[in-house]
Structure 1
Amino acid sequence: MMSQGKHKWMTAVSEELRALKENGVWEVVIPPTCSHVLHNKWVFKTKTGANGDVERYKARLVACENEQLFGVDYTVTFAAVMELSTVKVILVLSRRWNVLARHGDVPNAYVKAEKEPHLDVYMKVSKRMKTDEMDLKRYGLNDSSKLELLLNKSLSGLKRAGRLWSKLLHSRLCEAGFMQCTTDMCLYFKKDADEITFVGVYVDELPVTATSRDAMDKFFKEMSTLEIKDLGVVNNFLDL
């Protein structure tokens, strides 16, 4: 890695691996003979603020999508993406209620979703991962050449990841009392006494507006189990 920001990128890689480990995304195993084992790769990108300055260096370990086999690594695919017109509705309501819309973001959203119980997906050990001596001792090995990763949760790059995350988010929103709009299934609303809250879903980004700031604060508190980050006022969402 020859980038001038090498140390920042390496820090981002370490943070990603730590987050995946803490979420129990995989376990190190010796896969069965003839198992279909996916390769992986690293994706690097910067996240900028409203003024264009770099706010964060992001590194993501993703499974190679082109190697996945239907019926072996996935079955149904889907990702929750609201219509562009729905984003405009949220912004219009925000202006009408005179309450600034806020931008919710879910870091490592895909890895929060459990895998499909009937599908075992194996993945190569990343070259940037250090092999734990305990794993080698457990299998009586001298090196890691036979070790692979058995995914316990979803991961970016998996064809099924978007659907599993959408399913988890939908269940949490419903538990909090939200309902889907019939015009756009990626728009949720909740009526509580005299307050109304609208939440849009664009994969792992959630623009939120409500009739009061307290209602929006309540939403972020209710969704705390998903570790949703409040990025503040919506300044730039899908270039709107």
Structure 2
Amino acid sequence: MIRLSLIIPAAGSGVRLGMKTPKPFIELGGRTILQHTIDKFIDIPELGQLLIVASAQNIDRVKSLVSDHDRSDVDISVVEGGDERQDSISNALKFVDKRCDLVAIHDAVRPFIEKNVVEECISKAMKYGAAIPGIPVKDTVKVLNDEQLVESTPDRSSLWQIQTPQIFKRQILFDAYDHAKNAGFTGTDDSSLVENLGIKVHVVKSSYENFKITYPIDLKLAELKVGGEL
């Protein structure tokens, strides 16, 4: 059976939400966003390991929050993050179980991922080596220069907005992070590091409901969804 290691970086702040509470610890319906996110994965049959990355001052807090998610066949650990997200994932990779075939990375504040999308990403990652969820871009996108003048308008039909979980064969992700470190390359997501190796990444069509809670409007939408009003 396929064995999956899931890394959830949960060291984000609440700055863009205008809140002092770090985003993963904001409550929705009596549970934190982080707990809602874990809920979406904990019953995935392939899940064999869960690594949650937290800032040093929040490690004990996260350990307390995940205590009710204990599954006898899933190893759950909380590890310290780094200065940047890429550093945090790199730190977490040191703890990935070698028995795991795949490694997934999922945003702590993206609590509405659908199980069928996760399963499809797992299947395609096993087949292609790398799979990520995404949705077609709805709006027209413009490329600007340094003076905020439009330089071009890309064909929208070929543009996709990428989400998480991003899932990779374990060695591919390890090689991608090693290569990025040696080359001094910083990517905007984990897939960009894998792409930098020359590996093709398969995209699985996801849902617009799998949004990341970043701004106040996102938090309001999340509250409505958890409350059953959407």
| Bin of the TM-score, shorter chain as denominator length | under 0.3
TM-score (norm 2): 0.26
Looking at both structures, which has the greater relative contact order when contacts are Cα pairs under 8 Å and sequence separation is at least 6?
1
Rg comparison, structure with higher value? 1
Higher helix share: 2
